[in-house]
Homo-oligomer: A and B are copies of this chain.
Amino acid sequence: MREEFGIGELAKRTGLPPSAIRYYEALGLLHPRRRDGGRRTYGPEAVARARGIQLAKAAGFTLKETSELYPSDTEETTLSERWRTLATRKLRELEAGLAAMEAMRLKLKEGIDCPCTSLDDCPLIQGPREQT
């Protein structure tokens, strides 16, 4: 039979607290089975999913956005198109975020390496950025 374990074990394997795991489930990101008595049971795929969620978080996605990235949850079977659309959009946003982080990294590095005392001094932000 397949390897199954409880919420405590999943917590141990992912570094997430059980409360967060339950919360993700409430948002539809995780779908444990239940054993008699009501306790949640997970398999290895839950570990993969949890890692995906953590990665998405680290990449700046909200949990709602992340859940949209896992559309198998919505009962669709041929979801390739929808998924691709969503993922493409997210990819664009991600690349914008990456650019911002890279810019900030440069600012920080410049600030650290140069004799001025504050980010304000380094004229690195004065690009043509109006609006968010």
Contacts and interface: CB of A to CB of B under 8 A. Distances in A.
B70 A125 contact: no
Given A126-B48, A130-B14, A95 B105 contact: yes
B100 A58 contact: yes
Interface of A (DSSP majority class):
helix
Q: Assembly of this chain: how many copies?
A: 2
B48 A101 contact: no
A4 interface: no
Interface string A21-57: 0000000000000000000000001001101101110
Contacts of A125: 48, 51-52, 55
A87 B125 CA distance: 17
B120 A45 contact: yes
Interface in A106-132: 107-109, 111-112, 115, 117-120, 125-126, 129-132
Nearest to A110: B87
